[in-house]
Structure 1
Amino acid sequence: MTAELLPARPPVANQEHSRRLASLRERMRLLRLDAVAVASPEAIYYLTGLDHHGYFAFTLLVVPLRGDLALVTREMERSTVRAQVPHCEHVPFGDGTDPATAAALAIGGTAAPHGRVGTEDAAMFFPPAIHSRIREALPDREWLDATPLLSEAMAVKSTTEVEHMRFAAALSDAAMAAGIATAGTGVGEHEVAATVQHTMVSGGGQQPGFVPMIRPLRLLDQEHVSWAQRQLEPGSGLFIELSGCHLRYHAPLSRTVYIGRLPDGAARAHAVALAGWHAALAALRPGVLTGEVYAAWQRATGAPTPRHHCGYLVGIGFPPSWVGGGEVLGIRPGGRVRVAPGMTFHLMSWLPGHVMSDTVLVTQDGAEPLTNTPRELKVVN
């Protein structure tokens, strides 16, 4: 198997990718890393801009301290690689062959024997078996977990990234407005979903990492199930959570609406959830710890049962998630992550009887909501 060096082009796709690559290589230099290999679609996209649906198959980007990037993909992705990332050396593997062989070839060409290699240990997209076979093929390299190198950089958005998220937020608001306008007595959940999906796509959006989550409040605790062909009934609540997607950037929001009339306790649940959301928003400031933000939310809601988080970092996402893989940096009890300007969070106030959330941007002075669908109690007929 040999690598295919595609025609010479500029060393990176654009200035944004150039800045990101230079920043990564500076941290690699400080850690004396000869190469870094990343497998998550979000990290590969962050560094190269490769945007396709082929990430379901093993894909690996190898970043050397100096020289050309190498991209390991299925052979059939050749045309996509050529079109989207011509500055990368393409190392393909055929169906029925071991991708670890191609990955070892790419890494071995950038990290000499006894060199130090950092890998993004994202198990969802870097299967342990492939990871192990790569190490077996290159036993004389020193291996380190380099996951934090990318996750920390990606946590803080540039001005360009914030603009992408503002576009995604506008799509989210438009889709939520359309979904709420469609909901009503006798309407099917699937009809609400169809309106939401149409609005996001017709507005210029891409397929989001998650489909919209649309279900009755009685199924609220089934957190990742979505619509069915159930009709909305008077006196019931409907949970809608969605995100527009623009250039793979997401801005989720959720609202709870009521059909026909308010059920008992709905007004109180809404008031508590809204108070919690405002408390978390006020606490989300540069320099604070994520655990302090969670504590502010819990004090305002008096939540008797601690929830696993009241928000999480959001930005680049590919299916099956809009949060960038299985590990989510959340606003959790006792969280020790320090909040910084440029971070974007899906800030949630999730209680058993009512949920609301928005995507917010941490600024120099506090936090700015990017999604702005009205937050008052909503009843639809």
Structure 2
Amino acid sequence: MPALYFTENEYKSRLFATKQEMQRSGFDTLILSDPANIFYLTGFDAWSFYAPLFIVVSCDLDEPIWIGRFQDAVSARDTTYLKEENICAYPDHYVQSSTCHPAEPASHILRERGLDRGVIAVEMGAYYYTARIHAEFVRYNPNARFADGELLVNRVRLIKSDAEQAYMRQAGRIADAAIAAAIDRCAPGVRECDVVAGIYKTQISGTPEYGGVYTTSPPHFCAGERVRTPHGLWTDQPLQNNSALNIEIAGSRLHYHCPISRTVYLGLPPDSYIRLADAVVEGLNTTMDHIKPGMTAEEVELVWRRSIAKHGFEKEARLGYSIGIGFPPTWGERTASLRPGDKTVLQPGMAFHCMSGLWLDSTGIAITQSFLVTKEGNEPLTQYDRSLAAKT
């Protein structure tokens, strides 16, 4: 029996919702290449997306069709609910070849199932849908009209089921453990890479109740002058006294991600940095106190913007983004963002990372909060103290 993370009924309800969106958009067939969407609709879980990997959803078929490298078909049998006839593999000579491409056998399967006509939607902006893949699909399906179906499934994913919310709470506990381990290890003279090694260990070992899996990106570890950068990486240099460092990581439980960022100050923070930290923490807490269903994403950002403006600060980048399933290179769902102009209405079951950080010309700070939208307001997914971690 396959090792499913959810009930077969839940997968079928996700497929039904996807088909409804396809019909509203006028799509007959949808080809998905984003591993997060493939995972969401089928449960498929293996590191095989470095070679072209697809599932095909048709409004006329009861199940998606999985199409991937022949040796990964065994993982499709092990991790999905799909019938054998809907697990289709292409031979190895199509892998990383300059003379042939997996879109050719995939198109043969479309033709055999009568899916090579009408409107075929593809994920034009997905990280794993390349220009060559699209050109090959167009070449081998001359009777079809191709349309952009990017983010169709991503938007179906916005509202999490009770089972998904449970995994995200578990990811939050892993995130808490990992950030606690990192901050505990930070001290003058300790190499940056040794702190990050502790993060990786905790991310994977998880808690006594459940373990973690790899996250979509490495830890962002910005010490010294790099504290003013949001996405820097660690070095093998020792941490210095009287300096700040930012850490952004996530806990991942069965690919459901819960991010967290904290700033550590080694030594006694100067008054100017304490004022910066106070402004960020006040802005974050004020924002969290206001978040409730029915607000729009831009209204959430406005609460934050007004709060930090009282202290003379402004933030150009978005305040946050929707989270859930994550595969490299991002744990963001690429849908709703907490920023001006985003009219997305918050609904119970949505999850976000409130990325309340400020990066200035010579310094930076990041103290953030992941949360679920609830019927009454919101539920923080991490419990680690929302404050500057000063280690004197």
Both structures adopt the same fold (TM-score exceeding 0.5): yes
Q: Is the 8 A contact 1:236 1:263 kept in 2?
A: no
Are 1:51 and 2:45 an aligned pair?
yes
Q: Which residue is equivalent to 2:319?
A: 310
| SS of residue in 1 equivalent to 2:13 | helix
CA distance in 2 between counterparts of 1:26 and 1:110 reads 21
1:80 to 72, 75, 86: 75
Task: Return closer, same or farther for 1:23/1:109 CA change in 2, 3 Å cut-off.
Answer: farther
1:89 to 87, 90, 95: 87
Q: Which residue is equivalent to 1:98?
A: 101
Are 1:345 and 2:339 an aligned pair?
no
Q: Is the 8 A contact 1:239 1:255 kept in 2?
A: yes
Q: Which amino acid aligns with 2:168?
A: M
Structure 1 residue 223: Cα displacement: 2.4
Q: Point out the more displaced range, 25-34 or 314-323.
A: 25-34
Structure 1 residue 109: Cα displacement: 3.6
Please list the CA deviations of residues 172-196 of structure 1 after superposition, one character each: whole Å capped at 9, or x if unmatched.
0011111111111211111211111
1:166 to 165, 169, 172: 169
Please list the CA deviations of residues 148-194 of structure 1 after superposition, one character each: whole Å capped at 9, or x if unmatched.
42121111111110000000000000111111111112111112111
Task: Return closer, same or farther for 1:167/1:290 CA change in 2, 3 Å cut-off.
Answer: same
CA distance in 2 between counterparts of 1:306 and 1:339 reads 22
Are 1:42 and 2:49 an aligned pair?
no
What TM-score does the superposition give when structure 2 sets the normalisation length? 0.88
Q: Which amino acid aligns with 1:187?
A: V
CA distance in 1 between counterparts of 2:335 and 2:375 reads 24
Q: Which residue is equivalent to 1:4?
A: none
Q: Is the 8 A contact 1:273 1:301 kept in 2?
A: yes
Q: Is the 8 A contact 1:308 1:333 kept in 2?
A: no
Task: Return closer, same or farther for 1:148/1:379 CA change in 2, 3 Å cut-off.
Answer: closer
Structure 1 residue 118: Cα displacement: 2.0
Please list the CA deviations of residues 305-339 of structure 1 after superposition, one character each: whole Å capped at 9, or x if unmatched.
54220111111011222224xx4532112222222
Structure 1 residue 240: Cα displacement: 1.1
| SS of residue in 2 equivalent to 1:354 | strand
Q: Which residue is equivalent to 2:294?
A: 287
1:196 to 194, 199, 211: 199
Task: Return closer, same or farther for 1:109/1:33 CA change in 2, 3 Å cut-off.
Answer: farther
CA distance in 2 between counterparts of 1:38 and 1:120 reads 6
Are 1:211 and 2:218 an aligned pair?
yes
Q: Point out the more displaced range, 190-199 or 85-94.
A: 85-94
Structure 1 residue 48: Cα displacement: 0.7
Q: Is the 8 A contact 2:355 2:368 kept in 1?
A: yes
Q: Is the 8 A contact 2:308 2:314 kept in 1?
A: no
Q: Is the 8 A contact 2:222 2:231 kept in 1?
A: no
Task: Return closer, same or farther for 1:20/1:177 CA change in 2, 3 Å cut-off.
Answer: same
Matches within 5 A, 1:43-192: 43-65=37-59, 66-85=61-80, 86-87=82-83, 88-94=86-92, 95=95, 96=97, 97-112=100-115, 114-192=117-195
Which stretches in structure 1 are left out of the alignment for 5+ residues? 1-6
CA distance in 1 between counterparts of 2:388 and 2:317 reads 25
Structure 1 residue 31: Cα displacement: 4.2
Please list the CA deviations of residues 179-226 of structure 1 after superposition, one character each: whole Å capped at 9, or x if unmatched.
111111211111211111111212210011112112215213432222
Q: Which amino acid aligns with 1:92?
A: Y
Are 1:368 and 2:379 an aligned pair?
yes
Count of residue pairs the alignment pairs up: 371
CA distance in 2 between counterparts of 1:36 and 1:22 reads 13
Q: Which residue is equivalent to 1:254?
A: 261
Task: Return closer, same or farther for 1:380/1:336 CA change in 2, 3 Å cut-off.
Answer: same
CA distance in 2 between counterparts of 1:183 and 1:280 reads 29
| SS of residue in 2 equivalent to 1:200 | helix
Please list the CA deviations of residues 332-363 of structure 1 after superposition, one character each: whole Å capped at 9, or x if unmatched.
12222222111100112111332111210011
Q: Is the 8 A contact 2:104 2:137 kept in 1?
A: yes
Q: Is the 8 A contact 2:216 2:329 kept in 1?
A: yes
Q: Which amino acid aligns with 2:35?
A: P
Q: Which amino acid aligns with 2:259?
A: P
Which stretches in structure 2 are left out of the alignment for 5+ residues? none
Q: Point out the more displaced range, 122-131 or 25-34.
A: 25-34
Structure 1 residue 49: Cα displacement: 0.9
Q: Which amino acid aligns with 2:167?
A: H
Q: Is the 8 A contact 1:255 1:355 kept in 2?
A: yes
Q: Which amino acid aligns with 2:58?
A: P
Q: Which residue is equivalent to 1:241?
A: 248
Q: Is the 8 A contact 2:371 2:379 kept in 1?
A: yes
Task: Return closer, same or farther for 1:300/1:217 CA change in 2, 3 Å cut-off.
Answer: farther
Q: Which amino acid aligns with 1:291?
A: E
Task: Return closer, same or farther for 1:71/1:379 CA change in 2, 3 Å cut-off.
Answer: same
Are 1:23 and 2:17 an aligned pair?
yes
CA distance in 2 between counterparts of 1:184 and 1:89 reads 52
| SS of residue in 1 equivalent to 2:327 | coil
- Percent of paired sites with the same residue: 30
User: RMSD of aligned C-alpha atoms?
Assistant: 2.3
Q: Which amino acid aligns with 2:260?
A: L
What TM-score does the superposition give when structure 1 sets the normalisation length? 0.91
